Structure 1
Amino acid sequence: MTMKAIQQYAFGGPDVLRYEDAPVPALRAGEVLVRVHAVGLNPPDWYLRDGYKTLPPEWRPEVSFPLILGTDISGVIAAVADDVTDFSVGEAVYSMVRFPEGAAGESRAYAQYVSVPASQVARKPARLDHLHAAAAPMSLLTAWQFMIASADDVQNPLQPAPHQPVALTGKTVLINGAAGGVGHFAVQLAKWQGAQVIAVASGAHETFLRELGADRFIDYTKTAAWDVVSEIDLVIDAPGGPDAGRFLPTLRHGGALFPIFPLGFSAMDEAARRGVTVSTTQVRSSGAQLAELAGLFDRGVLQVAIDSVYPLADARQAHERAARGHIRGKIVLSVP
């Protein structure tokens, strides 16, 4: 039995993505088979597509071709393994599939069917259609696990100590990259927890972010945040990377900086001098957390923004859109 999927046979740019027939995945013990209705795009998709060039060579996983990208899905259960009792055929579900353990291509979400460990599946929020549900998992779980609760007690691969979220009630939180996938969820979670929120993004996103709850907005194209704010309790730097240290002067002694993408950060000595905690973690699949978050969607606490939608066959164009940047919310593939 075959399905339509996006496959690639070599690393490279968006042009390596091919829409073609592929085998429907076999169902194994502990899994459900999902008929996919929509797929959410995330940065690890293009990192894997081009061979994880941003990672040190020793961190790059072994990859087998043909490769199917993707982790975030929303769809309907088409089959369940004999030992799965929590889900039934016909239920609408969403998931972040096999991440990070499937980072070498085992998640295989750019397809009409995906097999998923039942522990990583949750029932789709009733208030969201499949497009919006597929846009949520990785970005929302990232914000949740950084800010609210970690996924499990697995050793943090990015630092010796476990990542510890900080209490947000009554605190001032600055979110850089606030209009993007992780950022726009971070704004909402911080506000839900009772924080004062400063959102940093380009000026085109001001109205959008104020509607999500931002108390103050800084247009980074006109003003450097570190020149106009100080005594911040927590900075969530969604882009992260080598430049995250720029935000250290904005933090009070005892404050915290959470770079979502930590690679290249080299200002630990300065952070120590300033009495600032720098911490990061690896987002992990969790059906239990997605079930909890579904409740927040259904109660109207959270909403998800979609930047653009492309048919599965146009995954190449979706990746080209991602490469242009300045994304508001998430890019989504609709699956026929």
Structure 2
Amino acid sequence: MDSVPQMSRAAVLNEFGEASRLHVTEVLTPVLKREDEMLVRIHATSINPLEWKMRQGMGLPPLVWRRLLGQPMILGFDFSGTVARVGRDIQGFQVGDEVMGAMPLHGTYAQYVLVRPSDGRTAVVRKPKGISHEQAALVPFAGLVAYSGLVKYGRLQTPSPQARILVVGASGGVGHLAVQMARRGLGAACVVGVCSSRNADFVRGCGAHEVISYDRTPPEAIVSSHPDWAGRFDLIFDTIGVEAYWTEVAPKLLAPNGQFVTAALPPSRPGRPGEDVSPLGVPPLLLKLVRRHRSGRYHLIPGLLGGLPSHSGLPVIARWMEEGKVSAHPAAAFDLEQIAEAHQASEGGRTVGKLSVRVA
């Protein structure tokens, strides 16, 4: 095992704003501050849309984001790498172990990160055999969102051979993993994916029994196009935040005990992410969420607030990966020095699968 250098590389966010605000520079390598921490040498990370929303300062005042992210501000949830150092209280991991996981808020756009396995919001497991670091780093955060949407909030059992599931945004990072988990992990009877017509074959390849092309069949036309689907779905999982699937589709498609789960806040302005809300827009948004929650079937995944099954979910996902049931599609690969380009590619909103970032 190589010695740990005093200085290492990281992509640091100097100011909130455009992707050009990310700069790769030398930073002090983190050192163990607690006996229940371990230092991981990161070989690869990946891009999640929440990260560029954080980079833009969406959802919270800049001063709050600065306090949450610390100094230097290093974004990034996902990591796959090698354990470089361990505290005396670490159990189940040792120096040299290859691991993958997701941090609760930030830190993986770097060569080294401190990981505390006992933290309830931190997910870390041994990397599945036969899976590269670049492949493994694509999965943890998006995989946990997908798993929680199906199992924790969608209330599906493992397995769920009778389940009927509609996944919106089925070709995206979370969506294509959710389709695979639903079909190959849970063994659902019917998995329908919603995506553009150009990505329909890809989503079928992920395991969808049927595909709805949103550029040919708008949400309000789904039930009329498939009258036999009315009232028969156990779960609608909206991974991207499209209002019409709650307002138009859910009332017609969901079974009496069916659930609606979304991984994104409802938009407050047309064409903008739900996280892009002004201070004046927060009260109406909260009121809308409370009203929907009272229905008993609307669930928003609070990914940054400890709402992911980090300890129970990632081991299951890793097992599915090792069994060949779940794999992330690499849309494109970037080096750490190209992190700004990777963010710009994600912001374009047309990513099929996930974007990989090589660190080592």
Same fold (TM over 0.5): yes
Partner in structure 1 of residue 220 of structure 2: 226
Stretch of structure 1 that moved more, 60-69 or 6-15: 60-69
Is 1:41 aligned to 2:47, yes or no?
Answer: yes
Is 1:146 aligned to 2:139, yes or no?
Answer: no
Is 1:291 aligned to 2:315, yes or no?
Answer: yes
Q: Structure 1 residue 334: deviation in Å?
A: 0.3
Q: 1:287 to 1:129 in 2, by over 3 A?
A: farther
2:164 aligned partner, one-letter code: T
Is the contact made by 1:122 and 1:288 (CA closer than 8 Å) also made in structure 2?
A: no
Partner in structure 2 of residue 185 of structure 1: 177
Partner in structure 1 of residue 327 of structure 2: 303
Partner in structure 1 of residue 163 of structure 2: 171
Q: Structure 1 residue 259: deviation in Å?
A: 1.1
Partner in structure 2 of residue 27 of structure 1: 32
Q: Structure 1 residue 6: deviation in Å?
A: 0.3
Q: 1:268 to 1:216 in 2, by over 3 A?
A: farther
What is the 5 A alignment of 1:34-113? 34-51=40-57, 53=58, 55=59, 61-63=65-67, 64-97=70-103, 99=104, 102=105, 107-113=106-112
Is the contact made by 1:75 and 1:130 (CA closer than 8 Å) also made in structure 2?
A: yes
Is the contact made by 1:10 and 1:65 (CA closer than 8 Å) also made in structure 2?
A: no
Is the contact made by 1:241 and 1:262 (CA closer than 8 Å) also made in structure 2?
A: no
Q: Normalising by structure 1, what TM-score? A: 0.85
In the aligned structure 1, how far is the partner of 2:127 from the partner of 2:155? Answer: 26
Q: Structure 1 residue 148: deviation in Å?
A: 1.9
Partner in structure 1 of residue 9 of structure 2: 4
Q: Structure 1 residue 305: deviation in Å?
A: 0.9
CA RMSD, 1 decimal: 2.4
Is the partner of 1:118 in helix, strand or coil? coil
Q: Deviations over 1:18-37 (max 9, x none)?
A: 01101101113211111110
Q: 1:132 to 1:214 in 2, by over 3 A?
A: same
In the aligned structure 2, how far is the partner of 1:31 from the partner of 1:200? Answer: 41
Q: How many corresponding residue pairs?
A: 312
What is the 5 A alignment of 1:245-260? 245=246, 246-248=248-250, 249-260=252-263
Q: Normalising by structure 2, what TM-score? A: 0.80
Q: Deviations over 1:293-325 (max 9, x none)?
A: 211111112121111110001000000101111
Q: Deviations over 1:124-153 (max 9, x none)?
A: 01131001100000111111122124xxxx
2:96 aligned partner, one-letter code: G
In the aligned structure 2, how far is the partner of 1:227 from the partner of 1:59? Answer: 44
Q: 1:71 to 1:56 in 2, by over 3 A?
A: closer
In the aligned structure 2, how far is the partner of 1:68 from the partner of 1:181? Answer: 21
In the aligned structure 2, how far is the partner of 1:187 from the partner of 1:269? Answer: 29
Q: Deviations over 1:262-313 (max 9, x none)?
A: 34574876897xx771122323372453223211111112121111110001
Q: 1:138 to 1:59 in 2, by over 3 A?
A: farther
Unaligned runs of 5+ in 1: 150-162
Task: Judging by fraction of residues, say which structure has more helix.
Answer: 2
Is the partner of 2:91 in helix, strand or coil? coil
Is the contact made by 2:264 and 2:301 (CA closer than 8 Å) also made in structure 1?
A: no
Is the contact made by 2:146 and 2:178 (CA closer than 8 Å) also made in structure 1?
A: yes
